[in-house]
């Protein structure tokens, strides 16, 4: 049995608990959690989220590009969220290589160079600030009073808010 087969079996066994449920499309807590796809981060467990509580966006390194900005705009403009929590973390695998190195490997293997924008990772707190700034600068995201950034420590489970003004953002 593959991992996907196991996931499907679990989903089928849980379907009875969901059938007939009436969760609204609008997240009950009105929040979007944007975080890394790292499997050590479980937003539902971390924040005590139940189905229907929040939108959760996950991406490699917690990078916010055009797709993520689009999803945030849809979440706020069409689905009623008003707050955004950006969660980056310690010991991120994205900090172990550069986008340029990864692109070189992919090009060598496939003959095609990926055209996605290069992301450079630095100090995790500075990266949180830059991500929050990218969201705040986007003209399509209307609710900006509560866009906050945090660092999750994968070794301790601690979540610390990042002071948005401590360093200059680019």
DSSP 91-102: T-GGGGS-HHHH
CA distance 88 to 96: 15
* Structural domain includes residue 134: yes
pLDDT in tens, 110-168: 999 998 888 888 899 999 999 999 999 999 999 999 999 999 999 999 999 999 876 54
Total domain count for the chain?
A: 1
Residue 3 in any domain: the answer is no
Host H or E run for residue 158: none
**Is residue 82 a part of any domain in this protein?**
yes
**pLDDT for the residue numbered 20:** 64
Say which residue, 31 or 99, is predicted with more confidence: 31
Domain for residue 93, yes or no? yes
pLDDT digits (tens, 9 = 90+) for 42-51: 999 999 999 8
Residue 38 near residue 89 (C-beta atoms within 8 A)? yes
Q: What is the CATH number of the domain that holds 123?
A: 3.40.1050.10
The Cα–Cα gap between 132 and 20 comes to 38
Going by DSSP bridges, is the β-strand pair 159-161/83-89 parallel, antiparallel, or unpaired?
unpaired
* 119 exposure class (CB count in 10 Å sphere: 0-12, 13-18, 19+): middle
Average confidence (pLDDT) over 27-45: 97
Measured distance CA(170)–CA(167) in Å, rounded: 10
Q: Is residue 19 one of the residues assigned to a domain?
A: no
- pLDDT confidence of 170, banded at 50, 70, 90? very low
Identify the CA nearest to 139 among candidates 84, 48, 73, 85: 73
| Domain, as residue range, for 66 | 27-161
Is residue 34 in some structural domain? yes
- pTM for the whole structure: 0.88
- What b-and-e string marks burial along 129-145, b requiring 16 or more CB atoms within 10 Å of the CB? bbbbbbbeebeebebee
Res 17 pLDDT > 80 = no
Q: Is residue 150 part of a domain?
A: yes
Query: Per residue in 78-121, pLDDT tens?
Result: 999 999 999 999 999 888 888 889 999 999 999 999 988 888 88
Mean pLDDT of the chain: 91
Range in 17-21, 59-63, 64-68, 138-142 the model is least confident about: 17-21
Residue 10 lies in a domain: no
């Amino acid at each position: 049995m593959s991992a996907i087969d196991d996931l499907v079996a679990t989903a089928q066994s849980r379907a009875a608990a969901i059938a007939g449920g009436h969760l609204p499309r609008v997240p009950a807590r009105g929040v979007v959690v944007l975080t890394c796809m790292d499997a050590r981060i479980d937003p539902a467990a971390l924040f005590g989220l139940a189905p229907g509580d929040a939108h959760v966006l996950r991406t490699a390194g917690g990078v916010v590009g055009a797709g993520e900005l689009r999803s945030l705009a849809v979440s706020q403009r069409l689905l009623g969220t008003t707050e955004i929590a950006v969660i980056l973390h310690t010991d991120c695998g994205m900090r172990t290589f550069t986008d340029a190195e990864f692109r070189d490997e992919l090009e060598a293997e496939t003959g095609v160079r990926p055209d996605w924008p290069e992301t450079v990772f630095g100090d995790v707190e500075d990266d949180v600030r830059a991500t929050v700034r990218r969201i705040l600068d986007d003209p399509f995201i209307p609710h900006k009073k509560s866009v906050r950034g945090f660092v999750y420590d994968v070794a301790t489970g601690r979540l610390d808010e990042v002071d948005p003004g401590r360093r200059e953002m680019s």
